């Protein structure tokens, strides 16, 4: 089959949706499918509306892992955020899918001429990619499979509202299948009137070779972190919504009561958002003795990072699952997470980690201190996490579920296209109507 995979960013970009996408695309190619990845040329998400941020230095068309990757240029206009915000209120479904303060301008994304047998799209709230995928699927008569990765946080939370808007719900209703990663996400989608038969839940996976077998001593030595110094790790986009600023404040509070020569070290790995850069610029100079920022980790550094840390913390409200928790557990490390959205299903409180309310720095600080001061407890949680991932958190398992859904949809459409022997001249039956689908303008 010819398959299109629409996503807001793709490798070498790092992130949950990007990791999932590459893992699935690789396996589709291995199964013999011809796959086109249609994505942006943004290196970080802020390039979508800020030309001063990072753009990928990659060709517009290239082959990666056997798939053809097409990177469409992001356009920029004056006052783009304000224009996008204004257009997002226009009472026209396609317009709302294409425009928001955070969405990139990518008109070329909808101008492709290729035909496909199946179309995938990944990652809300960047709905211009999912809408382009919807248009392509409709024009080809192909099934559309959406994986939104809804960040549901807490009802009423601004993040929750960002992922539950009417145009997003309609996109899900217009799809042939919705892939979700937690029961919370499945229940939310079903609550919008989408039949359970069109909802497929998969578990995220990880590649052990990419996260395990590192040399923690090498990582600590390169940053002059003592071998016995308590070390907390954080691997994410550095941003307040990921809990990064709360984590810094929590460790700062702990170190204020510790001897100056025995601070808890905190390593922040990942690209920084503008909001975090602003926060970091105001930090006192004494944080330099315990706060280490690595930027994005190289493939060689990542296993060393996980081996070096004593515990992993990502108290985020913008994660639908959290693949990094699986990677930490594979290294036997306990985790601290925010009890927000689907993460509360992934991390079991006091079994594989500790859950704290998002934004409560004092509670977060107490949880970190508890695990540092109770190494036996930390070891128990980390080993429970190791056993959890050993029971099956592979991308092969995830792909098997996704592939079965794809095969079911393709077989359904093939049956719909079969000639009806009862009709004269082998006339084809009209394609069955799809629940909730309405014609929309271009």
Residues 280-322 have pLDDT tens digits of 999 999 999 999 999 999 999 999 999 999 999 999 999 999 9
Q: Report the C-alpha gap between 19 and 23 in whole angstroms.
A: 6
Domain-wise residue ranges, the chain:
2-205+395-426, 208-390
Model confidence over 177-223: pLDDT tens digits? 999 999 999 999 999 999 999 999 998 999 999 999 999 999 999 99
For 2-205+395-426, CATH number?
Answer: 3.40.50.2000
Q: Is the CB of residue 367 less than 8 Å from the CB of residue 336?
A: yes
pLDDT band at 424 (very low <50, low <70, confident <90, very high): very low
pLDDT for position 420: 52
From the list 39, 135, 99, the residue with the least C-alpha distance to 442 is: 135
Find the helix or strand (DSSP H, E) in which 230 lies. none
β-partners of residue 110 are: none
Instruction: Produce one character per residue of 17-49: b if its CB has 16 or more CB atoms within 10 Å, e if not.
Output: bbbbbbbbbbbbbeeebebbbbbbbbbbbbbbb
Q: Is the CB of residue 358 less than 8 Å from the CB of residue 153?
A: yes
Distance linking the first and last C-alpha atoms of the chain: 26
pLDDT for position 414: 72
Determine which of 1-10, 241-250, 395-404, 427-436 has the lowest per-residue pLDDT on average.
Answer: 427-436
Q: Report the C-alpha gap between 115 and 211 in whole angstroms.
A: 37
Environment class of 282 (CB within 10 Å of its CB; exposed 0-12, middle 13-18, buried 19+): exposed
Ramachandran angles phi, psi of 5, nearest 5°: -125, 105
pLDDT band at 437 (very low <50, low <70, confident <90, very high): very low
CA distances from 354 to 172, 177, 178, 337, 357 (A): 33, 34, 30, 6, 10
pLDDT for position 432: 38
pLDDT for position 392: 77
Question: Which runs of consecutive H residues, i.e. helices, occur in 283-394?
Answer: 301-308, 323-330, 343-346, 361-373, 375-390
pLDDT for position 391: 84
Tokens for 301, please give them: 């550094």
Instruction: State mean pLDDT over 323-333.
Output: 97
Model confidence over 330-378: pLDDT tens digits? 999 999 999 999 999 999 999 999 999 999 999 999 999 999 999 999 9
Average pLDDT, the chain: 92
CA distances from 199 to 138, 192, 319, 414, 426 (A): 20, 12, 19, 21, 35
Residue 441 has pLDDT above 70, yes or no: no
Q: Report the C-alpha gap between 10 and 40 in whole angstroms.
A: 8
Q: Is the CB of residue 355 less than 8 Å from the CB of residue 344?
A: yes
From the list 376, 326, 377, the residue with the least C-alpha distance to 350 is: 377
Instruction: State mean pLDDT over 71-77.
Output: 97
pLDDT band at 170 (very low <50, low <70, confident <90, very high): very high
Residues near 235 by beta carbon (within 8 Å), at least 6 away in sequence: 269, 270, 297, 302, 305, 312, 314, 324, 327
pLDDT for position 411: 86
Instruction: State mean pLDDT over 228-247.
Output: 97
CA distances from 91 to 78, 97, 110, 158, 174 (A): 23, 11, 21, 21, 18
Say if 2-205+395-426 and 208-390 have the same CATH topology: yes
Handedness of CA 360, 366, 369, 371 (dihedral sign): negative
Residue carrying the six token digits 């029971």: 391
HSE at residue 101, side-chain half, CA atoms within 13 A, is 5
pLDDT for position 417: 66
Instruction: State mean pLDDT over 11-34.
Output: 96
Q: Report the C-alpha gap between 350 and 372 in whole angstroms.
A: 15
Q: Is the CB of residue 221 less than 8 Å from the CB of residue 295?
A: no
**326 CA to centre of own chain:** 14
pTM of the predicted protein model: 0.90
Instruction: Produce one character per residue of 162-195: b if its CB has 16 or more CB atoms within 10 Å, e if not.
Output: bbbbebbbbbbbbbbbbbbbbebbbebbeeeebe
What topology does CATH give the domain 208-390?
Rossmann fold (3.40.50)
Model confidence over 96-145: pLDDT tens digits? 999 999 999 999 999 999 999 999 999 999 999 999 999 999 999 999 99
Q: Report the C-alpha gap between 183 and 180 in whole angstroms.
A: 8
Tokens for 93, please give them: 């479904």
Q: Report the C-alpha gap between 3 and 122 in whole angstroms.
A: 14
Residue 237 has pLDDT above 80, yes or no: yes
Task: Give me the percent of the chain exceeding a pLDDT of 70.
Answer: 94
Q: Report the C-alpha gap between 302 and 219 in whole angstroms.
A: 9
pLDDT band at 393 (very low <50, low <70, confident <90, very high): confident
Q: Report the C-alpha gap between 384 and 394 in whole angstroms.
A: 17
Most confident of 146-155, 233-242, 411-420: 233-242
DSSP string, 201-215: E------HHHHSS--
């Amino acid at each position: 089959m010819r398959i299109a995979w629409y996503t807001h960013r793709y490798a070498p970009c790092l992130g949950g949706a990007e990791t999932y996408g590459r893992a699935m695309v690789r396996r589709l190619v291995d199964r013999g499918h011809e796959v086109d990845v249609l994505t942006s040329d943004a290196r970080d998400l802020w390039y979508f509306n800020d030309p001063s941020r990072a753009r990928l230095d990659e060709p517009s068309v290239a082959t990666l892992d056997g798939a053809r990757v097409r990177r469409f240029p992001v356009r920029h206009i004056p006052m783009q955020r304000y224009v996008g915000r204004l257009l997002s209120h226009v009472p026209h479904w396609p317009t709302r899918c294409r425009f928001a303060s955070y969405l990139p301008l990518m008109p070329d994304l909808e101008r492709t001429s290729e035909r496909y047998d199946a179309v995938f799209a990944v990652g809300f709230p960047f709905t211009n990619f999912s809408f382009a995928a919807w248009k392509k699927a409709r024009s080809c008569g192909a099934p559309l499979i959406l994986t939104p990765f809804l960040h549901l946080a807490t009802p009423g939370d601004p993040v929750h509202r960002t992922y539950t808007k009417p145009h997003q719900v309609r996109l899900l209703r217009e799809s042939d299948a919705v892939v979700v990663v937690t029961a919370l996400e499945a229940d939310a989608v079903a609550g919008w009137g989408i039949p359970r038969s069109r909802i497929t839940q998969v578990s995220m996976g990880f590649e052990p070779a990419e996260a395990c077998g590192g040399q923690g001593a090498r990582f600590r030595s390169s940053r002059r972190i003592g071998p016995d110094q308590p070390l907390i790790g954080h691997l994410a986009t550095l941003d307040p919504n990921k809990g990064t600023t709360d984590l810094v404040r929590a460790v700062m509070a702990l170190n204020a009561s510790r001897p100056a020569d025995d601070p808890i070290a905190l390593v922040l790995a990942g690209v920084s958002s503008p909001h975090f850069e602003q926060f970091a610029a105001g930090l006192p100079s004494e944080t330099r003795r315990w706060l280490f920022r690595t930027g994005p980790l190289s493939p060689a550094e990542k296993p060393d990072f996980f081996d070096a840390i004593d515990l992993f913390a990502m108290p985020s409200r913008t994660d639908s699952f959290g693949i990094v928790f699986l990677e930490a557990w594979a290294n036997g490390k306990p985790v601290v997470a925010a009890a927000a959205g689907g993460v509360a299903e992934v991390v079991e409180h006091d079994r594989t980690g500790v859950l704290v309310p998002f934004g409560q720095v004092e509670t977060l600080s107490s949880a970190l201190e508890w695990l540092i001061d109770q190494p036996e407890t930390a070891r128990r949680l980390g080993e429970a996490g190791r056993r959890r991932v050993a029971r099956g958190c592979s991308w092969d398992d995830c792909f098997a579920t996704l592939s079965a859904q794809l095969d079911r949809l393709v077989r359904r459409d093939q049956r719909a296209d079969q000639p009806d022997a009862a009709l004269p001249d082998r006339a084809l039956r009209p394609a069955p109507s799809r629940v909730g689908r309405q014609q929309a303008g271009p």
